[in-house]
Amino acid sequence: MKASDLHAMSVDELKSKLGELTEERYRLRFRSATEAIENPMRFRHLRRDIARIHTILRAKGQ
């Protein structure tokens, strides 16, 4: 996900997206403990996307 796409989103949309990504990260972490994951780089992408959203929310004052 690109930062320019995130900047165009409203605060409510960003918070919704943040919840989705956090839930996906949780499910992926749980699945990795029980089985092999097809794309382990997804952890890195999720972590960075979550951090990117937090940064944009902070810049928007939320």
Residues 6, 9, 11, 16, Cα dihedral to 10°: -80
Q: How confident is the model at residue 62 (pLDDT cuts 50, 70, 90)?
A: low
CA 16 – CA 18 distance, rounded (Å): 5
Q: 3-60 maps to which CATH number?
A: 1.10.287
pLDDT, residue 1, reads 78
For residues 39 and 3, give the distance between their C-alpha atoms in angstroms, rounded to a whole number. Answer: 22
Question: Each residue of 11-49: pLDDT tens digit?
Answer: 999 999 999 999 999 999 999 999 988 899 999 999 999
> pTM for this one?
0.88
Nearest CA to 46 out of 32, 33, 28 is that of 28
Domain ranges, ordered by start, for the chain:
3-60
